[in-house]
Amino acid sequence: MGTINSAMSLIGGALDANQEALNVVANNVANANTPGYAEEKPDWRENTPITVGGVQNGDGVTETGTTSQRDRVLEERLDQQQQLASASSTRLTALNNIQALFTPDSGSSSATAGDIGSDITSFFDSFSSLEADPTDNALREQVLTSASTLAGDISSAANSLNTQSAALNQDAAGIATQVNSLTSAIAQLNLQIQSTSPHADAGALEDQRQQDMSQLSQLVGINQVTTENNGLSITTTSGQLLVSEGQSFQLTTGTVNGATDFFVGGTDITSELASGGGQLGGYLTARTQDIPNALNSLDQLAYNISTAVNAKNNAGVDLNGATGTATNPLYIFSEPTQVAGSAATMKVTMTDPSQIAAASAGNETGDNSNAVAMAALANQPIVNGQTPINSYSNFVSTLGSTVLEVQTENTAQNASVTQLQTQNNALSSVNLNDEAAAMSTLETSYQAASQVFTLLNTIMASALNLGEQTTVS
Amino acid sequence: MREVHAREGISGLRAMVLEASRALALLDAPRLQELALSCEALNRQLGQADAGLRRDLAGQAREAVDDMEVFRRVLEATRANLNVMRRLRAMRWGELEYKVPGAGAMAAAEQAENGDGNN
C-alpha cells in the first residue's frame, strides 16, 4: 500500500494547511476588500498633433477626468452567480431543516417523527402478534398503542412542516422590504450618475450602485440593462420592471390561499421569483416545492394507511361479535375524506381495543383471519403502488438526494463566485499586465483541473473495477 | 509528508478530489498541476496494486463519488467563467486597438490628404 499512499501523500501538505469548506473560502475572499470599491484611473485625451516640416508630432495628452476600473460584463456575471449561490444556500438550509424531521433519533427513547419508518413496521407487526391470540386484550391494546404512535409521529411531522412553511413566508416577506429599500436607493443613484455623465466619471456613485446591486443580487434574481448616460434598469429574471432609471417599482406582499405572495403593480410574480434566484428564490422554492412535496408524501402515506386499515377493520368482526355499519363504523383511525391534509389530522379514534376486528365476517370472535389480512397490508401496494414502508423509504431517499444535489450545486456556485471575485479584484486594482496574468492563471487552472478530473475519473473507474474483480475471485 | 489516510476519516482518494475542488475554486494553478502529477503517478501504480489495496481503493472510490460530482460542477462553472473572461478580454483588446496611440494623428493625416489641411 506504500507506493499508492506515497503518491497520495504528495498532496498532504496543502490538505494540512487548509481544508476548509469551499463556501467559507468564498466568504473570506468576498470580505478581503472594501465592498464595491473599484480603483479609479485617469482618462487621457490625445492632444491635436502639430505638423512641422510635413511631419506630425504628437503634443502629449490632457487628463479629462477619471474612470473607475470596473467591468460591467464581469460584474453582471458575478451578480448572476451570487444570485444562484444565494438561492441554493437558502434552499439548502430549509431542506436540512426538513430532512432533520425524518432523521431517526437513535439516542432518544421517545417516539419522534424521524421514527416513522419503524412506526410503520411496529404497527403492522402488532397485527401479526394479535394473530397468535386474537382475544388477548394486551395484544389488542398494543395495536392501538402502535397506531397512536404512528399517527402521532406522522401528524407531528406534518405540523412541523407547516410551521416551517409559515416561517419561510415570514422570512420571504422580510426580503421584500430589503429589496424595496435597495431599488429605491439604486433609482436615486441612477439620477445622480446620469446627471454627472458623460462629462465626468461618477466613480464613487457607481461604486455605491454596484454595491447595492450586489446586495440586491443576493436577495432576488434580477437582470440589468444599461441605459443612456450610464443609467441602469433592473428587472426580475422574468422581466418585471423593478427600477427604470430614476424610478423604482415596489415589491408588495399579499396573502393568497394562506401563503404570502409577491406583487409588482398588481401582478402576482411569486412563481417567477421562486425560479429567479437570490434568497427570495431559495425561500420560495422551499416553500412552494420542497415542503409541499414532503407534505404530499406524508399525506399519501397517512391517507392510504388510514383508509386501507379502516376498510379492513370495518369489514371484520370485533371481540363483541359486531361488524361496522354506516352509522357506527369500526374505524381505528379518523377516516380522511381527501388526501390533502390527511397527515396533519391523522389520529386514532378507536378507544376500545375490543373493537379491533380480528375475525373475518361470518367467523367466530376467536378467528384471526382478519388480523392476518390487516398484517398483510404491510406487504401490499396500498400507497400509490408501493408498500407503506417502501413508499416512506423512497420519500426519505428522494429527499436525501435533493439535499445532496442542492449541496453540490451550492458548493460549485460558491466556488464560481470565489473565482469571479478573484478576477474582479484583479481587474479593479491592477494594470493590464497583471490582468493578463490573472487571465492566464484562470486558463492554466482550468487546464490543470481538467487533466486532474480526467485522471481521477480513470483512477476511480479502474479502482471500482479492480475492487469488483477482487470480490468475485 | 504525512499520509492523507490519517486525516479525520477522509480517505486518500476523497481527499484528493476535495483538494482539487478547493484548489480550482481558489485558482491555485501550481497546486492543480501538482495534483495532476500525483494522479498520473497513482494511475501508473494502480496496475500493480495487490488484492488488499484493490479492495481499499474500490471503497475509497465509492466514498469519493459525491465529491467527484462537486468537482465536475466546479469545473463546469470554471469553464463558463473562463468563457466570460475570454469574451471580456476580446472586448478590451478591441477597445485598445480602437484607441491605439497615434490613431488621432493618423486621422489628422487623412484629413490633410483630403484637402482639409494647410495645402
pLDDT band of A59, cuts 50, 70, 90: very low
Instruction: Give A296 or A108, the one with higher predicted confidence.
Output: A296
| Tally of residues, chain B | 119
pLDDT band of A154, cuts 50, 70, 90: very high
Cα dihedral A360→A362→A368→A370 (10° resolution): 0
pLDDT band of B84, cuts 50, 70, 90: confident
Per-residue pLDDT for B18 more than 50? yes
Enumerate the residues of chain B whose CB falls inside 8 A of the CB of residue A3. 45, 48
Choose the closest CB to A14 out of B31, B62, B91: B31
C-alpha cell at A210: 454596484
Q: What percent of chain A has a predicted confidence (pLDDT) above 70?
A: 78
C-alpha distances in Å from residue A73, one per residue of A80, A202, B91: 11, 18, 10
Element at A447 (helix H, strand E):
helix A432-472
Per-residue pLDDT for A47 more than 80? no
Contact A151, A158 (CB under 8 A): no
DSSP string for A275-327: TT-HHHHHHHHIIIIIHHHHHHHHHHHHHHHHHHHHHHHHHSB-TTS----SS
Most confident stretch, A10-24, A97-111, A427-441, B44-58: B44-58
Enumerate the residues of chain A whose CB falls inside 8 A of the CB of residue B75. 446, 449-450, 453
Enumerate the residues of chain A whose CB falls inside 8 A of the CB of residue B92. 71
Cβ–Cβ below 8 Å for B7 and A449: no
Per-residue pLDDT for A366 more than 80? yes
Find residue A267's DSSP bridge partners. A264
Per-residue pLDDT for A63 more than 50? no
Give the residue carrying C-alpha cell 470554471: B78
Per-residue pLDDT for A422 more than 90? no
pLDDT of residue A19: 32
pLDDT band of B95, cuts 50, 70, 90: low
Per-residue pLDDT for B107 more than 60? no
- Angstroms from B82 CA to nearest CA on chain A: 7
Per-residue pLDDT for A261 more than 90? yes
Enumerate the residues of chain A whose CB falls inside 8 A of the CB of residue B31. 14
SS3 label, residue A360: coil
Cβ–Cβ below 8 Å for A415 and B7: no
Cβ–Cβ below 8 Å for A446 and B79: yes
Find residue B10's DSSP bridge partners. none
Enumerate the residues of chain B whose CB falls inside 8 A of the CB of residue A77. 81, 84
Per-residue pLDDT for A312 more than 50? yes
B38-43 contact pairs (CB < 8 A, 24+)? B38/A7, B38/A8, B38/A10, B38/A11, B39/A451, B39/A452, B39/A455, B39/A456, B39/A459, B40/A455, B41/A7, B41/A10, B42/A4, B42/A7, B42/A8, B42/A455, B42/A459, B43/A455, B43/A458, B43/A459, B43/A462
Average pLDDT over residues A150-171: 95
Cβ–Cβ below 8 Å for B25 and A445: no
Name B82's Cβ contacts closer than 8 Å, sequence gap at least 6.
Answer: A442, A443, A446
Buried b (16+ CB within 10 A) or exposed e, A375-400: bebbeeebbeebbbbebbeebbeebe
State ipTM.
0.77
Average pLDDT over residues A424-450: 77
- Angstroms from A396 CA to nearest CA on chain B: 18
Rounded Cα distance, A219 and A87, in Å: 8
Mark which residues 50-89 of A lie under 8 Å from B by CB: 51, 56, 58, 71, 73-74, 77, 81
- Asked if A443 is an interface residue toward chain B (Cβ–Cβ < 8 A), one would say yes
**How many alpha carbons lie under 13 Å from residue A268 in its C-beta half-sphere?**
8
pLDDT band of A314, cuts 50, 70, 90: very high
Per-residue pLDDT for A182 more than 90? yes
Q: What percent of chain A has a predicted confidence (pLDDT) above 90?
A: 59
Q: Which residue of A has its CA nearest to B73?
A: A412
Average pLDDT over residues A164-182: 94
Could you tell me the pTM of the whole model? 0.75
- Asked if A446 is an interface residue toward chain B (Cβ–Cβ < 8 A), one would say yes
C-alpha cell at B48: 500493480
Angle at A89 between CA A83 and CA A92, to 5 degrees: 140
Enumerate the residues of chain B whose CB falls inside 8 A of the CB of residue A80. none
Choose the closest CB to B78 out of A15, A77, A449: A449
Rounded Cα distance, A415 and A407, in Å: 12
SS3 label, residue A47: coil
pLDDT of residue A388: 97
- Interface mutation vs chain A, best among B8, B62, B71, most A CBs within 10 Å: B71
Backbone torsions φ then ψ of A70, nearest 5 degrees: -120, 160
Contact A388, A382 (CB under 8 A): yes
Cβ–Cβ below 8 Å for A446 and B75: yes
* Sheet hosting strand A241-244, strand order edge to edge: A222-227, A231-236, A241-244, A247-248
Per-residue pLDDT for A133 more than 50? yes
Q: Which residue of A has its CA nearest to B12?
A: A8
Element at A8 (helix H, strand E):
helix A2-9
Per-residue pLDDT for A13 more than 80? no
Buried b (16+ CB within 10 A) or exposed e, B19-58: bbbbbbbbbbbebbbbbbbbbebbbebbeebeeebbbbbb
- Asked if A5 is an interface residue toward chain B (Cβ–Cβ < 8 A), one would say yes
pLDDT band of A377, cuts 50, 70, 90: very high
First to last CA, chain B: 79
Per-residue pLDDT for A8 more than 80? no
C-alpha distances in Å from residue B63, one per residue of A12, A238, A451: 18, 40, 21
Other beta carbons within 10 angstroms of residue A425's beta carbon come to 16
Per-residue pLDDT for A4 more than 50? no
Per-residue pLDDT for A30 more than 90? no
Q: Which residue of A has its CA nearest to B22?
A: A22
- Interface mutation vs chain A, best among B18, B32, B92, most A CBs within 10 Å: B32
Q: Please classify residue A107 by burial: count the beta carbons closer than 10 Å to its beta carbon, then call 0-12 exposed, 13-18 middle and 19+ buried.
A: exposed
Contact A63, A43 (CB under 8 A): yes
Q: For the ranges A8-22, A182-196, A197-211, which has the lowest average pLDDT?
A: A8-22
Query: What's the DSSP call for residue A386?
Result: B
Closest by CA to A102, choosing from A157, A145, A54, is A157
Closest by CA to A306, choosing from A369, A368, A383, is A383
C-alpha cell at A302: 397517512
Contact A270, A221 (CB under 8 A): no
Rounded Cα distance, A295 and A232, in Å: 42
Average pLDDT over residues A330-337: 97
pLDDT of residue B91: 73
Per-residue pLDDT for A58 more than 70? no
pLDDT band of A349, cuts 50, 70, 90: very high
Instruction: Give A20 or A38, the one with higher predicted confidence.
Output: A38
Rounded Cα distance, A467 and A459, in Å: 12
Whole-number average pLDDT of chain A: 82
pLDDT band of A40, cuts 50, 70, 90: very low
Average pLDDT over residues A225-251: 88
pLDDT of residue B5: 39
Contact A135, A319 (CB under 8 A): yes
Find residue A43's DSSP bridge partners. A65
Contact A332, A318 (CB under 8 A): no
